Every structure is written in C-alpha cells, then in structure tokens.
Amino acid sequence: MDSKEKLKLTFISLFTFIIQFYLSKSKFSEALSKRIEISTPVSSFLRVQEGLFLYRRGLDPYSGGVYYQSPLILFLHFSCELLGGVDAIRILYSFLTVASGWLVYKISEKYQENKKHRDLYCGTSSLWISIIYLLNPLTFLPNIACSSDVILNFLTLAFIYFSIQGFQVGYACTVALSLFVNPGTISLVLPSYYILKQSNPKASITGTFFVFLFYMSCLIIGSAILLQTFTFLMTPLHVYMNAHDLTPNIGLWWYFFTEIFEEFRLFFLFVFAVAPVMFIIPITIRLQKLPLIATVLMMGIHSIFKIYPSIADYSLFLSLLPIFGKAQENMKYSLLANNGIVFALVLGTTFYHSWITLGCGNANFFYASNLILAIGISLKAMDFLRAVLMIEWRSKHPEKKNEPLVQIP
Amino acid sequence: MGLCKFVLVCLCSFFALGYASLNEQYNEALYLENLSNRHTYASFTFEIDKKTNKENGYAFSEPNYQFFPLSLARIMKDQKVMDLHVRATKGRWDYGFWKQPPDNGLQSGGLGFEVWASFIDDQDLEAWYKLTSQLSGLFCFSSNNIDELNTYQPLLSFVPSSFTSSHSRYFASLPQESVCTENLSSLLKFLPCKGEAGIASLIDSHLLFDTDWYSLSIDIAPNHPDDLSSMKLIVKIQTVIDVERTNRRKLGTKFPPPPEFCNDDIANDPLRCLTATYTSSSHTLEDLFHKLPETQCPLSPSKDDILVKNSPSLVVSYPLEMARDISVPVLPEKRPESPVFIERSLTNSGNHWVGIISIFTNPSDEAYSIVYFERLPWYARVYLHTMKITVNDKPISPLEFFQDQVYQPLKDRKAGTMIESRFEIPAHSSVVISYDIEKTTLRLQEYPPDANRGYDLPPSIVSVFGKDDVEICQLRTSALLMFIPTPDFSMPYNVIILTSTVMALTFGGSFNFLTRRIVPISELPKSQKPSLLQRLRSKLKRKDRNST
C-alpha cells in the first residue's frame, strides 16, 4: 500500500513539477508576478530582482525603497543565478513546491499512525491530501509567479514535519530559517513546540532554544558578512511594524491604514500587531493534547491578520484542513464559508481590475471582497474549532453518543 | 554757510555716486528674432555687475548697492551662496518648428519652477531650505514647498568648469507651479528702472502670459570661476509670440478667421480674412507688443538697446528712439537645428504599472555626449533592473552603454528617485531608453485636494556636450501627468467599523468556543432549559437536531 502510494505520489509530483516549470518560463508567469493577489511587497519576484540588481552593482539592496525581504531570499536567488541563470530559480521553486507536497504527505501519514487520532479526526488518505495540496491553484499560481511565499510555505511545513517526527535539531534549524524569512511565523512556534513535546518527550526547551539561537546567530552573522552592513535587520522589520508600503493586496491592513486619521496611526498599528499574537496562548492551552490541530488553526487565524497576505498563505491552511476529515464533516457552515472564499477571490480580481485598470469602480468594492474573504476564512477556522471540540468531548463521554450538545459559559 | 553745505553735499553725493558706479554696472537689451512667419522670439535681458575692490573679498559683503537689489544681495550673503539659478517656464518649446532656441536652452527651464544653487562651503540642507523660502517671499513662487522630497544633488549636470567638491550643490523643481503676474511684477520691481522706462516698459502681462512659451530666469554667478569678488546678475524674460494670434486682439471684438480659412474671394477683405491686414514678411514693435517703449532708462549706459536679427549672420542694434521704424524681418533661410531631439512619454498598461520611454534622436553627422538627468517622486517606484536600451533598434545592455551613472534610489516618504546618466549618442542614430514604474497608493491626508488631476512628473534635463566637453545646449523634455489610483475619500469611519467588525467576529467566536464548556442539553440547569415554544419549534425541526 505504502509503496504503491509513494509511486503514485512520485508520478503526480513529477507531472506537477514539469507543468509548473514549463508555465513559469512563459509570459503567463510575468503577468502573474504583477498580480496583487499573488505578489505582495514582501513576496514579489520583481522586487527580489531589483534588490539583486542593486547588490550586484555594489549598493546596499536595502537602500533602494522597493526591497524589504530577508537576505536569505536574496542570496538564494543570487546563488541560483550564479549556478544556472533565471531558469535555476524556477527549477528551485518547482522543486520546493513538490517537496512541500511530499512534506504534507509525510505529516499526514505520521499523524495517522496514532490510531486514536486517526479514528477520531482523520477521514482522507494522505495521498489525496498531498494531491489536493499540489493541484490546488492557490499553491501552484504563486509558484509560477516565483513568489517568495513558496519558500516560506516550504519552511513552515518543514518545521511542522520535524516537530511531528520529534527531530529537535531539525526543528530548531527550520524555525530559525522561517523566522528569518518572515517574523510573523512566531505565531506557529508555540503550537508546533507542543507537537515536538508530544512526539519526543525527551525534548527539552532549553536545548531547543539554544540550538535555535545558534542557527539564528549564524544566519545574522552570515548575512552581515555578505552584505557588509546591518540594515537588513531594521528594514524588513520596519515594514512589518510600520506598514509604510500600502500597496493593495487581499488583506485588511492596507485600506485600513490608508483611510485612518494620522492621530490614531500608532494605536491601530499596535492593535493590528497584537491581534494575531493574542490567539496563540489560549488556543495552545485549550488544544494542548491536539497540537497539530492547534497549529493548523493558528495558521488560519494568523493569515487573516497578516500584514501582507497572499493566496499562498490561505492555500496552506485550506490544504492542511482535509487531514482532519471527520472534523470537516461536522462543520456546519462549510457551504457559506467555501462560497464566501471562492466568490471573494473571483470577484476581488474583477473589482480590482475595475478600480485600477478601467477606472470606473471604487476601492470599496475590492475591499469588500477582502472583508468577505477574511470572514470566510475566520468562519472556517471557528467552525473547525467547534467541530474539534465536539469530537473531543464525545470521545471523552462515549456513553452519551446521541445526545445533542450545547455550549454554555 | 547754507550754500557751502549744499555744495558739499552735492560734491559728496557726486563722488559717492561716481565711486559706487565704478563698482556696479547696469545693461539692458531686447533681442528680437523671427522663428517662422508666425512666431517671433523676444528676450529681455537685464544685467547688473557688482564688484568689490577688496582682494579675495565677497562681492555681497559690501553694504552699499546702487543697482543691485539689496534683498537679493542679503540672501546671497546670509546663506553664503556662490551661484544661484532660478527658472520659471510655461509652455513647450517646439524643437521641430522653432529649431534651436537662440540662447541654446542654457537660460530657459522646463515646465514649472526650477532652482539650483551652489554654496561656498559645505552647507547642509538647512541653508538650502532657508534660501528657497526667502526666494518664495521675494518672487511669490511657492518654493517654500521645497523639502527633502523634491531636493536632489546632481553630480553630472550643471557642472561649471570650476566646480570643486567642497561646494555643496542642490537642485529642486516644482513642475506644478504656474507662472503669473505676481511673479513678473516682483521680478520687475528689482530692476533699477522697474517697468517704467527702457525696454521693460514694453512688457504687458496680458500679452506675455498669452504667448505660446515664456520663461523668466534669474542667474547670479561669479564672472570668473572661483573669484567671488565680481558677481553678475542676469534677469532674462524670454517669450515666443504668436504674432497672428496676438493681432487678433487689436481688432477688438471682431475675430476674423485664421488664414487657413481664406479662399481667393475673400482673400483681400480685411473684415473677413486676417491675411489682408496681416503681413508676414516683417513685424513692427506695435505688432508684437501693441505699444512703443517709453523713454530710455537713464541708468543704462548704452544707447542701442534693441537688437534685431536681420539675417542669419547679422544682428542690427537700434536705439529706443527709433522704435517706431524698427521692423523685424521674416528670414527665408532655415534656422540652425537642435543637435539632439528628445521625446519622453508614459506607456500606460493599467494603473498599477506604467513605463517611461525616452527617445533620443541624433540626425546630425557628429556624435554627442549627453548627460540625462531624470527625477521622479517617491510614489512612482522605479525598478531600475527593467531598464531596456536600444540603439537603432538593436538592444544593448545598460552596463555597456552608460559611461557614468549616478542613481539615488527612493525612500518611502523621505526622498525621490534621481537617475543621472552619461552616454554617447552616435551620429545618425536613435536611442530608446525605457523602464517600468510601479505606482503606489498614498495615505488619505497625502493626496492633494485635486487628487484626480494626477501628479506632474518633472521634466528631465538633457545636457549636450560637444568635443572637449564643452556644453553646447540644454534641452528639457515635457512634464508628464501621472494618475495615481485614489481610495474613497469619504470612507475612513466605515472602513474602521467594518474591519473592526471582522476582527471582533473572529475574536468573539474563538473566545466563545475556547472558554465555554460543553454539556448535553438534558443536563442543562433548569433556568436555561428551552421554553415550551422553543421545544415546539425544535420538534418541528427534529431532523436537523440529530447531529451536533
């Protein structure tokens, strides 16, 4: 069974690799890399090219006001271009997407090894989950556009994989890498540490922390040596803290910070920065025994409040949700949430085109579709949480199988 | 006693006048040239020389001024300015029909207001801001709007041969500035004879601001490089008069049709066809300015103040008394062409990404060296790696093509982009430079009141150098109007409300599910058991209640 599945997965991943690499060489890729749903100021391929251009001319890539991403991405692209030109980057991105698909398969497989969890929560085979992830347009469109979110998704899946395998050093290393690329990943560190604790009871927090510190300092010192300046510490953080680049995207921050009055700017920056972080501790505490569910839930909630979201963030949440098939069956608002998400993505594209290209629409239409998308994702996350809690209660009280339940304060 | 005093005072003032007039000199001249049978170029030049007798002194440290405007001298002294140049222009110089400007473009600017200055020592931006705000007070330009967003420090353009790096130099431009009567009257106020006598009396602001192109310029610079003891102020008012259109006003409320509509029947009827009264072989001063000059300005030493170009190689000068008899002939020979032509435009592909394309054409037999100075505001984000260059339709890489490039990248809300490039354009060739720009939305308060008009991208400055690095001429491109997508200005409260609702829904939902405990309905405390009506309702909907 296993080897047959692996063969099928190999075939599918080879197929997706070839299709994605072929499409990313075409004009379609250039058109996609200018779309705002896919490339944001912190993941745009063109901005990486601009940063590389300045770096090759001997200037500090962070001195030109368009590049705010981390040095890791800069040097990844730089070394790929040295080795093989622009095609090498496309090969790398297609390979990373395919590798992410394999990581999803491995995560789901390891999760289903626990019989108790499998009977309660899982409904779909790991092969199908991996295929859903690979063929999901929300995943392969950012790959074709060479958006840096592909690297971020790969690193996120990598540290979840290492934590579920119980591999402490690998976990600390990939957490350091993903925090270096996007500091927002801090929302996922605590739940995934609990996954590590569950799969490897001998893992100690101090040991993991010191390994993480070691890798982080290696990254910072290495980047400082290669760039010969320390601006890379402040410039990416500055754009996350200050939101000075208000290019439209599918999130909530940009229009909010365009429209507010100057006196309240600092207050709302604080509120929006705290919003994703305040969910970490309650969810982790409540779902201590189900840390993978807590991680997936945090992914969903974090992607709503992210400062520059793109469809790649939503793809990770929506593709990992089918691992918990039984919980999905118990969700009440699936039709509403799924329709909301699909309509918001499709109509949002139309409204953006009408506002920007045709000049006959308004930014309000586009922002309304962003709000609907946020509501759809949050509805899915809340419904998922409720379904998981109901299943958990029922598993604890098997004698009260058929009684209807309600929640009271 | 009284008589002695009077004679003494007269003698003293005579000597003082004589002494002072040794150190200052005033000259004015009006230059007229026909560019075609319809357009006449007129330039009013007023020059004031100021010298100081002290060795290595600064001309503006002297306290006494006779001709030189005191307020300007004070500004130069306070901010320690070495040279100052101001340009205010409106209109577009048509290089195709009017050919090369008579001053080679060295004293006319691009659309709007431009100012650049060098300081004696290494001065910081504070001195520059003080200088520009004082200029705005003197000449009624809004140069007090000059801040770090429109100030640049060009290294390759505007370089006099004596420039050393210890002098700091700044450049700023306001392309949206419109030039009008208050600028002109403030300028004329600084001249010794004001607008009352001499050639300045010919200037009528109604006619001047109705012309196709006009430019006011002020240049204060040392006469010899690095020698600050002798400084010169040149005020130049240049204009290109459309004679045919100007003459329509003279006929009062009757506006005869332009010559294109005259056919043979009405060709000689002055009431119905302008060509009957309008001769295009020569123009008089009455045709051009609708009046004759007043008496000669007594402070100007020369008598022959009006210069007329009679043939391609001959300029004849006339005194003001002969103003009635002057005629400016239309020359049949072609005027000298501009060495290089340039066109710049926006290539629009939506409202998020645009491109800027500049086309340089060199039709002559010589190769020229060009310095191209381009600047853009910070909200037009330049992606320099997208720059593509073709020479005669063959692509060439920017590294090979540019001999020198100075690039100041943008910083959000702190500095705009500046690109200065030096390259050589070969003979009989055309060079096309294009690159992409991403537009960005601004904060609500940063939009001007007329946000939907668009933003002016300032004109770029092209300096053409011939052999031995001598500057031949300076060209300006047109200013570009760029539209930036605007949010809905009436929505701040609504946006805050709706977004906060979404956040609160998420928070409220998760708070509820995380903090509540689950109980079966049969175990609910009595007070929370459903009422009779609710139980009835639930029986009707029994099918839905089997699941959780």
Q: What is the three-state SS of B36-87?
A: CCCEEEEEEEEEEEEECCCCCCCHHHCCCCCCCCHHHHHHHHHHCEEEEEEE
Residue B111, SS3 per DSSP: strand
**Residue of chain A nearest B452, judged by CA positions:** A359
Residues A93, A81: Cα–Cα separation, whole Å: 13
Best mutation target among B354, B402, B412 (most A Cβ atoms within 10 Å) is B412
Q: Which tens digit of pLDDT belongs to each residue from B331-368?
A: 878 888 889 999 999 997 778 899 999 999 999 999 99
Q: What is the DSSP string of B400-419?
A: HHEEEEEEE--BTTTB-EEE
Query: CA B126 to CA A273: how far, in whole Å?
Result: 37
| Residues of chain B neighbouring A266 (CB-CB closer than 8 A) | none
CB contacts, 8 Å: A355 with chain B: 485
**What digits encode the pLDDT tens for the residues B312-341?**
888 888 888 888 888 888 887 888 888 999
The mean pLDDT of A72-85, rounded to a whole number, is 91
Q: Kindly state the average pLDDT of the residues A80-98.
A: 90
The amino acid at B481:
L
pLDDT at A87 > cutoff 90 = no
Number of Cβ pairs < 8 A linking chain A and chain B? 170
Contact residues, chain A, for B547 at CB < 8 Å: 330
pLDDT above 70 for B392: yes
Q: What is the rounded average pLDDT of the residues B418-443?
A: 93
Nearest CA in chain B to A239: B412
Under 8 Å CB-to-CB from A352, ≥6 apart: which residues? A36, A248, A366
| Residues of chain B contacting residue A241, judged by C-beta atoms under 8 Å apart | none
CA distance B532 to chain A (A): 18
Chain A residues whose beta carbon lies within 8 Å of the beta carbon of residue B487: 255, 258-259, 363
Is residue B258 very low, low, confident or very high in pLDDT (cuts 50, 70, 90)?
low
CA atoms within 13 A on the CB side of B60: 25
Taking an 8 Å cut-off on Cβ atoms, the answer to whether B492 and A385 are in contact is: no
Instruction: Give the closest-approach CA distance of A330 to chain B in angstroms.
Output: 8
Least confident of A94-103, A353-362, B27-36, B515-524: B515-524
Query: Residue A85 above 70 pLDDT?
Result: yes
Chain B residue whose CA is closest to A300: B506
Q: Do B520 and A400 touch (CB under 8 A)?
A: yes
* CA–CA separation, B484 and B488 (whole Å): 13
Residue B444: its chain A contacts at CB < 8 A? 258-261
Nearest to A50 among B383, B510, B513 (CB): B383
d(CA A352, CA A254): 14
Collect all residues with Cβ–Cβ distance below 8 Å to A96 and sequence separation of at least 6. A143, A150, A151, A154
Report which of A327, A320, A322 is spatially closest to residue A160, judged by C-alpha positions. Answer: A320
How far does CA B58 lie from the centroid of its chain?
30
Residue B368 contacts residue B425 (beta carbons within 8 Å):
yes
Give the three-class secondary structure for B318: strand
| Radius of gyration (C-alpha) of chain A in whole angstroms | 21
What count of other Cβ atoms lies within 10 Å of the Cβ of residue B415? 18
- SS3 at position B390: strand
Nearest CA in chain B to A265: B443
Rounded to a whole number of angstroms, the distance from the CA of A314 to the nearest CA of chain B is: 16
In order, the DSSP letters of A15-29 are HHHHHHHHHHTSHHH
Task: Measure CB to CB from residue A259 to each of B351, B492, B520 and give the nearest one.
Answer: B492
Q: Give A-chain residues touching B411 at CB under 8 angstroms.
A: 63, 65
> pLDDT at residue B547 above 50?
no
Question: Quick one: pLDDT at residue A50?
Answer: 93
User: B378: which chain A residues are within 8 Å (Cβ-Cβ)?
Assistant: 65
Pairwise CB contact (< 8 Å): B520 & A404? yes
**In A77-191, beta strands by DSSP E:** none
pLDDT at B541 over 80: no
Token pair recorded at residue A345: 């993505």
Q: Which of A150, A144, A148 is nearest to A30 (CA)?
A: A144
Q: Do A409 and B515 touch (CB under 8 A)?
A: yes
Question: Chain B partners of A276 at a C-beta cutoff of 8 Å?
Answer: none
Of B409, B441, B513, the CB nearest to A385: B513
pLDDT in tens, B44-69: 999 999 888 777 778 888 778 888 88
pLDDT at position B20 is 47
Gap between the Cα atoms of B489 and B287, Å rounded:
51
Residue B5 predicted with pLDDT over 70: no
Q: Which residues pair with B371 in a beta bridge?
A: B422, B463
CB contact under 8 A, A408 and B441: no
Rounded Cα distance between A95 and B28, Å, is 76
The domain ranges of chain B are 18-329, 341-482
Measure CB to CB from residue B409 to each of A64, A390, A402 and give the nearest one.
Answer: A64
Nearest to B411 among A65, A257, A385 (CB): A65
Work out the mean pLDDT of chain A and round it to a whole number. 90
Length in residues, chain A: 409
Is residue B171 predicted with pLDDT exceeding 90?
yes
Residue B351 to residue A261, Cβ atoms within 8 A? no
Distance from CA of B373 to the nearest CA of A (A): 18
Closest CA to B487 of A257, A262, A65: A257
Of A244, A305, A404, the CB nearest to B521: A404
Q: Return the residue of A nearest to B512 by Cα.
A: A409
Residues A195, A174: contact at Cβ < 8 Å? no
Do A301 and B506 count as a contact with CB atoms less than 8 A apart? Answer: yes
Listing DSSP states for B427-449 in one string gives: TTEEEEEEEEEEE----GGGS-T
Considering only CB atoms, which chain A residues are within 8 Å of B352? 34, 36, 356-357
**Joined tokens for residue A165:** 């395998």
Neighbours of A24 (CB within 10 A): 25
Chain B residues with beta carbon closer than 8 angstroms to that of A36: 352
Which one is predicted more confidently, A54 or B2?
A54
Tokens of A256: 């909010």
| Closest in A59, A256, A409 to B496, CB measured | A256
Other CB atoms closer than 10 Å to residue B391's CB: what's the count? 17
Q: Which residue has the tokens 């010589």?
A: B366
Tokens of A79: 């070394």
Cα–Cα dist A163/A198, whole Å: 9
Residue closest to B483 by CA, chosen among B350, B381, B375: B350
Q: Which of A33, A39, A50 is the best residue to mutate to test the B interface, defined by the most B CB atoms within 10 Å of its own CB?
A: A50
| Res A122: pLDDT | 82
- Contact criterion met (CB < 8 Å) for B546 and A34: no
**Cβ-based contacts of B515 with chain A (< 8 Å):** 282, 409
Note whether A406 contacts B521, CB cutoff 8 Å.
Answer: yes
- In terms of phi and psi (left: phi > 0; alpha: psi -120 to 50; beta: otherwise), the region of A359 is left
CA–CA gap between residue A395 and residue A390 (Å, rounded): 9
Tens-place pLDDT, residues B14-44 = 554 554 455 788 989 999 998 887 889 999 9
Where is average pLDDT lowest: A130-144, B100-114, B124-138, B302-316?
A: B302-316
* A359 or B235, greater pLDDT: B235
Output the CA–CA distances (angstroms, integers) from residue B236 to A103, B201, B365, in the order listed.
Answer: 74, 14, 33
**Considering only alpha carbons, which residue of chain A is nearest residue B489?**
A259
**Chosen from B407, B488, B538 to mutate, greatest number of chain A CBs within 10 A:** B488
Tell which residue, B336, B408, B351, has the closest CA to residue B376: B408
Per this entry, what is the length of chain B? 548
What's residue B169's pLDDT? 87
pLDDT per residue as tens digits for the range B154-164: 888 887 655 55
Q: What is the mean pLDDT of residues B283-289?
A: 85
CB–CB contact B487 A258 (8 Å): yes
Residue from B365, B479, B482 nearest B93 by CA:
B479
Distance in angstroms (rounded) separating the CA atoms of residues A406 and A154: 39
- Tell which CATH classification among 3.40.50.2000, 2.60.40.740, 2.60.120.340, 2.60.40.180 matches the domain B341-482: 2.60.40.740
Q: What is the pTM of this model?
A: 0.86
Q: Which of A177-186, B266-275, B529-538 has the lowest mean pLDDT?
A: B266-275
Average pLDDT for B527-539:
73
- Cα(A274)–Cα(A267) distance, integer angstroms: 11
The predicted structure's pLDDT at residue B376: 94
What value of ipTM does the predicted structure carry?
A: 0.91
Half-sphere exposure for A105 (CA within 13 Å, toward CB): 22
Q: Among all residues of chain B, which has the CA nearest to that of A392? A: B518
B218-249: string of b/e by CB count within 10 Å (b at 16+)? Answer: bbbebeeeeebbebbbbbbbbbbbebbebbbe
Q: Which residue from A53, A260, A378 is facing B506, i.e. has the nearest CB?
A: A378
Nearest CA in chain A to B418: A64
Structure tokens at A395: 């598993």
What percent of chain A has a predicted confidence (pLDDT) above 90?
63
Asked if B109 and B87 count as a contact pair (C-beta separation under 8 A), the reply is yes
- State the Cα angle at A145 between A139 and A148, rounded to 5°: 75
Mutant choice from B482, B514, B521 vs A, greatest count of A C-beta within 10 A: B514
Rounded to the nearest angstrom, the minimum Cα separation between A386 and chain B is 6
Out of A113-127, A151-165, A390-404, least confident range = A390-404
- The Cα–Cα gap between B259 and B274 comes to 6
CB atoms B491 and A364 under 8 Å: yes
Hey, what are B176's tokens?
A: 């949206």
Mean pLDDT value across chain B: 84
Quick check: A106 pLDDT over 90? yes
Contact B385 A50 (CB under 8 A): yes
Across the interface, whether the CB atoms of A408 and B381 are under 8 A apart is answered no
Let me know: does B442 contact A96? Beta carbons within 8 Å: no
Q: How far apart are CA B160 and CA A83, in angstroms?
A: 47
The shortest C-alpha distance from A231 to chain B (Å) reads 14
Residue B548 has pLDDT above 50, yes or no: no
